[in-house]
Structure 1
Amino acid sequence: MTKFDMGAAWDDTLLLLKSHTALIVTIAGVFFFLPALAFAWFGPVPVEPPAGADFDQLMTAFRESFRQMIPGQIVVALCTMVGTVAILRLWLARTGVSVGEALTFGFMLFPTMLAVQILSGIAIGIGVILLIVPGLYLVGRLALVAPAIADRAIYNPIEAIRTSWELTRNNGWAIFFFLLLVGLVIFIVALIVGGVLSVVAGSGPGFGRMVGGVVEAAFGAIGSLFSIAVAAAAYRQLALRSASDVFQ
Structure 2
Amino acid sequence: MVKFDMGAAWDDSVQLLKSHTALIGTIAGVFFFLPALAVAWFGPVPIEPPAGASVEQSMAALQQTFRQMIPGQIIVALTTIVGSAAILRLWLARSGISVGEALTFGLMFFPTLFAVQFLSGLAIGLGLILLIIPGLYLVGRLTLAAPSVADRSLYNPFEALKTSWELTRNNGWAIFFFLFLVTIVIFIAAMIVGLIVGAIAGTGDGFGRMLGGVVEAGFGAIGSLVSVAISAAAYRQLATRTPTDVFQ
TM-score, length of structure 1 as denominator length: 0.99
For 1:158 and 1:246, the matched residues in 2 are separated by 25
The equivalences for 1:32-181 within 5 A come to 32-181=32-181
Give aligned-pair identity as a percent: 74
For 1:146 and 1:21, the matched residues in 2 are separated by 21
* Aligned residue in 2 for 1:225: 225
Give how far 1:200 is off: 1.0
For 1:14 and 1:132, the matched residues in 2 are separated by 31
For 1:9 and 1:121, the matched residues in 2 are separated by 24
For 1:104 and 1:210, the matched residues in 2 are separated by 32
Give how far 1:195 is off: 1.1
SS in 1 for 2:208: helix
* Aligned residue in 1 for 2:27: 27
User: What do you get for the CA RMSD once the two structures are aligned?
Assistant: 0.6
Give how far 1:47 is off: 1.0
For 2:153 and 2:190, the matched residues in 1 are separated by 34
* Aligned residue in 1 for 2:198: 198
SS in 2 for 1:246: coil
Compare 207-216 and 188-197 and name the one that shifted more. Answer: 188-197
Structure 2: which 5+ residue stretches go unaligned? none
Give how far 1:19 is off: 0.3
The residue identity in structure 2 corresponding to 1:29 is: G
For 1:200 and 1:245, the matched residues in 2 are separated by 52
SS in 2 for 1:208: helix
The equivalences for 1:4-23 within 5 A come to 4-23=4-23
1:13-58, Cα deviation, whole Å (9 max, x unpaired): 1000000000000000000000000000000011111111111111
Compare 54-63 and 211-220 and name the one that shifted more. Answer: 54-63
TM-score, length of structure 2 as denominator length: 0.99
1:237 aligns with 2:223: no
SS in 2 for 1:126: helix
SS in 1 for 2:169: coil
The residue identity in structure 2 corresponding to 1:66 is: F
List, as ranges, runs of 4+ consecutive aligned residues in structure 1 with deviation greater than 2 Å: none
The residue identity in structure 2 corresponding to 1:95 is: S
SS in 1 for 2:56: helix
For 2:77 and 2:90, the matched residues in 1 are separated by 20
Give how far 1:242 is off: 2.1
Give how far 1:243 is off: 2.6
For 2:131 and 2:51, the matched residues in 1 are separated by 34
1:100-154, Cα deviation, whole Å (9 max, x unpaired): 0000000001000111111111100110000000000000001101111101111
